[in-house]
Amino acid sequence: MSIEAVVTNFDHLLEQIDEAPESRQAAEQRRTIERFLRGAQHEGYLLGLITGLSAERLGSVLDRHFGADSLDYFSVIVAGAADPAGPAGQEPYDVALRTLGVPPERCAAVGSTESELPAGPLGFAACVPLPMAMEAICADYAE
């Protein structure tokens, strides 16, 4: 069975980028996120975003650091999720999967840190941190 969708949580990286936007680390993190999103889109994956940030704050952060079109990568955004990686965090993923129309076994969850991956058995085909996803999804994608 193949993966059709990727549901992401990049809160940790977005917070770091927003705290020190001019730093070398923030520039590298922005490139990593942008490359991942372009690679996943290029490969034809539906993309969802789960975030603990409010819709207003998320929009502001993405617009400021990635441009006004950055929301266009995502088919669904579940904002304001209370600790989406915590034990009660299944609901945001359920909402995203229902909206994407993809069962969990045909979806991968990607977090910028291990703690941003969903807790508990949600039935995803894979739950991987961003560096591993970059290797799998973006390995053959040339920028």
Separation of alpha carbons 77 and 92, rounded Å = 9
What mean pLDDT value characterizes the chain? 85
Supply the pLDDT for residue 83: 59
Supply the pLDDT for residue 114: 81
Supply the pLDDT for residue 27: 92
Supply the pLDDT for residue 120: 65
Question: Number of structural domains, the chain?
Answer: 1
User: Range of 34's domain?
Assistant: 5-138
Which two tokens mark 71?
A: 């929301």
Q: Is residue 14 part of a domain?
A: yes
Contact (Cβ atoms closer than 8 angstroms) between residue 136 and residue 13: no
Q: Is residue 143 part of a domain?
A: no
Which pLDDT tens digit goes with each residue over 111-142? Answer: 888 878 877 667 888 888 888 887 777 666 55
Q: The domain spanning residue 73 has which CATH number?
A: 3.40.50.1000
Q: Is residue 34 part of a domain?
A: yes
Which pLDDT tens digit goes with each residue over 37-96? Answer: 999 998 899 999 999 889 899 999 999 999 889 989 999 999 987 655 555 567 888 899
